[in-house]
A and B are shown apart, each in its own frame.
Chain A
Amino acid sequence: MTPTRKRRLIAVALILGAVGIATALTVFALQQNMTYLYTPSEILAGKVPEGARFRIGGMVKDQSIERGQSLTVAFVVTDGDGDMRVEYEGILPDLFREKQSVIATGSMQGDRFVATEVLAKHDENYVPRDVAEAMGKAHAKHVKPKE
């Protein structure tokens, strides 16, 4: 390697290293500040500032969906440790169902969360329908006899 190329190589490597470190630090800092959503237990622990608009994320609790007049709906979002009642009026996404992850945007009104937007979060699993049914049946077979 000629001295010129070596000098260029070192210069480029140094700049790339500096940019890399700067980015790593930024990412590390953002990890603590940039919160896309809060979980119900974080809200109950008082981590959300009063009156703020924020997102709540978690699982729709089994058998918690109550449908009211026209498009009004209420359900409970849970993260296993804490529960939060969410109220919403509008069209729900296709994937919205019990035991499915959701993300709702809105604010607290008293002890309930009033949402202006409800998004369903999809997990990374892709399973054919008949396989899912077969798995469900097999699962039920193993669970039921105990009752």
Chain B
Amino acid sequence: MNKLTLWFHTLGSPPYFHRLAGRLAPWLFAGAVLFAAAGLYGGLVVAPPDYQQSDAYRIIFVHVPSAWMSLFIYFVMAVNAFIALVWRIKLAEVLAMACAPIGAAFTVITLATGAIWGKPMWGTWWTWDARLTSELVLLFLYLGVIGLYQAIEDRRQAARAAAFLALIGIVNVPIVHFSVKWWNTLHQGSTVRLLGPSAIDASMLWPLLLVALATKLWFVASLLVRARVELLALEGGKEWARAEAQRAEGTP
């Protein structure tokens, strides 16, 4: 077995993951808060007002990173769901299920901030265009995964059923992303592009990227913490979980 596969096997072991996640999470949370503070200060105070929307555009510093996360987290969830379905790795099941509430929260933030911006700028809170509708479907997929996971008694069977739904739902992710290209939508096209120049001035772009980095770190930290709790609940009867609980209580 080569080193990389060996590392994956070690990482997949619940006690090892529990310890590693416990050590990493505080640092990731700290980084997230730091970058979010810097990014939001840059976005809300330092960045210049837009030539058409003046200060109202500043909601993109929350809206766009959240929208990216709503898609990114779904992708992470689907990858874990795939691993869980094929290899039946307990950790992958736990990680996939821990993704869903975080992704749902980011999707809600995206929809809410979009509506708040849409009312003054477009003139409406909501319209059934392709981008808005597919993002709403994304929220329902997240809620479906959470609901299905909670509805089945046996935790591992529940995780597998919900993982299946999560994996099927991945087809919606490219639809959300390309909806503004494929159809005539009220929602504007992508501003920040990976390939080619972005349609946003550099003075407005850097705070956006900082907040995006902060949301990524927050997601990973939140995921690790949630997965730790879920793992302890699943492995409650095992030796390492008891030892962990005893250490937390301070008894030998």
Which residues of A are at the interface with B, using a C-beta cutoff of 8 A? 5, 8-9, 12, 15-16, 19-20, 23, 27, 30-31, 34-37, 57, 91-96, 100, 103, 117-133
Contact = CB atoms under 8 A, between A and B. Distances in A.
A119 B127 contact: yes
Contacts, number: 111
A126 B175 contact: no
A124 B189 contact: yes
A126 B205 CA distance: 9
Interface in B141-158: none
Contact of B184 (A37, A118, A123, A133): A37
**Interface SS of A by simple majority:** mixed
A100 B122 CA distance: 12
Nearest to A94: B120
A119 B183 contact: no
Interface of B: 47-54, 56-57, 60, 82, 85-87, 120-124, 127, 129-130, 167-168, 170-171, 175, 182-186, 188-191, 199-201, 203-204
B121 A122 contact: yes
Contact of B48 (A5, A117, A119, A129): A129
B171 A36 contact: no
A75 to B, nearest CB: 14
Given A5-B87, A36-B183, A95 B52 contact: yes
9 contacts: A12-B85, A15-B168, A19-B168, A57-B184, A94-B121, A95-B121, A100-B52, A121-B186, A124-B189
A70 B60 CA distance: 34
Contacts of B167: 12, 16
A2 to B, nearest CB: 10
A129 B199 contact: no
Contacts of B120: 93-94
A127 B50 contact: yes
Nearest to B191: A124
Nearest to A18: B168
Contact of A122 (B47, B129, B188): B188
Contacts of B130: 34, 36
A19 B171 contact: yes
Most buried by B among A5, A30, A100, A125: A125
A93 B123 CA distance: 5
A132 B51 contact: yes
Contact of A130 (B48, B191, B204): B48
A35 B130 CA distance: 10
Given A23-B175, A119-B124, A126-B60, 8 more contacts: A30-B183, A36-B186, A95-B121, A118-B123, A119-B186, A126-B204, A129-B54, A131-B51
A8 B52 contact: no
